[in-house]
Amino acid sequence: MINVKEKHTNLIKAEAKRLGFLSCGISKAGFLEIEAPRLEQWLKHNSHGEMRYMENHFDKRLDPTKLVEGSKSVVSLLLNYFPSETQNAESYKLSKYAYGTDYHFVIKDKLKSLLRFIQEDIGDVHGRAFVDSAPVLDKAWAAKSGLGWIGKHSNLLTQQVGSFYFIAELIIDLELDYDSVTTDHCGTCTACIDACPTEAITEPYVVDGSKCISYFTIELKDNLPSEFKGQFNDWMFGCDVCQDVCPWNRFSKAHNEPLFNPHPELLSMSKKDWEEITKDTFNKVFKNSAVKRTKFEGLKRNIRFVKE
């Protein structure tokens, strides 16, 4: 006979699927013992560059029970963003995750719907939704929930669909059935390490964020460092190189979320179009887009740096 925890778990996973999530895994909320020393070392080596927010809330980052009072379960969810079409090959490039509407908006709405469903169908359940917006180690929780393993490029990987997806979670005060951790399938492959244009993957499973093209083009507000001139390979916002070369991404399938579809002009724009982009065009092409994070002047700065 099915027990209550199993029933609740099945209900949540079925609703997550109905809402369009790629997959859903659940783990027991608690202290991340393995990640604690890794995070400490990463911060000590200044691998976060100017992302000073990574130093904040160290305890909460490692233990969701300190972040959400009374929490018992972390419900991790994946949402596919792999596009059916990509940019003109001769153009300046932006990361595929930024083609459409900012994922924060899209996923937050889905998470709110899932939490509402849990409260209506299961009962008095409290919790919070997180989309890359609080001190939560998304990839660690997704791996702990059996959704994949953390690859040598430090992204979550699955054998079935690769790595082109967003990770989000609900942290709730409901006990559920917990999933098992999966095994690592990177093997001897070093494709991501060999291909990284700025050698940001300093060793397997360790990325120096302060050398990553995504960090430079999105997070860094100052001038881009001249020693990396000529190494950006035409990336003007983010970088997908380590994911593009990963053999597991041969299995990526196009998403079916209309909000992630790009503005029609985006895919056809040439280098000349990008170099001459106006603020009006920027606002039109990137309305509600994650690219707004770097702002118009930031994108122009990146294009100038890549062009020179």
Q: Annotated catalytic residue: which of 63, 132, 177, 244?
A: 132
Among all chains, which residue has been given the structure tokens 């001769």?
90
Question: Quick count: other Cβ atoms within 10 Å of Cβ 65?
Answer: 17
Express each pLDDT in 182-223 by its tens digit. Answer: 999 999 999 999 999 999 999 999 998 889 999 999 988 889
User: Mean pLDDT in the chain?
Assistant: 91
**pLDDT at 70 (0 to 100):** 93
Confidence band of 173 (pLDDT split at 50, 70, 90): very high
For residue 245 the two structure tokens come to 């070369």
Query: Which residue is listed with tokens 């597991």?
Result: 248
Cα 6 to Cα 26, 28, 247, 264, distances in angstroms? 12, 14, 35, 45
- Assess whether 280 carries a catalytic annotation: no
pLDDT reported for residue 1? 55
pLDDT computed for residue 55 by the predictor: 54
The letter for the amino acid at 94 is L
**Beta carbons of 79 and 109 less than 8 angstroms apart:** no
Residue 263 CA from chain centroid, whole number: 21
Task: Give the least confident one: 56-70, 149-163, 201-215.
Answer: 56-70
Furthest CA-CA distance within the chain: 67
Averaged over 36-40, what is the pLDDT? 65
Q: What percent of the chain lies above the pLDDT cut of 70?
A: 92
Q: Are strands 93-94 and 235-237 parallel, antiparallel or unpaired?
A: parallel
- Per-residue tokens: 251: 């299995």
- The domain spans of the chain are 4-47+57-172
160 and 93 in contact (C-beta within 8 Å)? no
Instruction: Assign 74 a pLDDT band (cuts: 50, 70, 90).
Output: very high
pLDDT band with cut points at 50, 70 and 90 for residue 15: very high
Summarize pLDDT for 77-136 with one digit per residue, the tens.
Answer: 999 999 999 998 889 999 999 999 999 999 999 999 999 999 999 999 999 999 987 778
Sign of CA dihedral 19, 23, 26, 31: negative
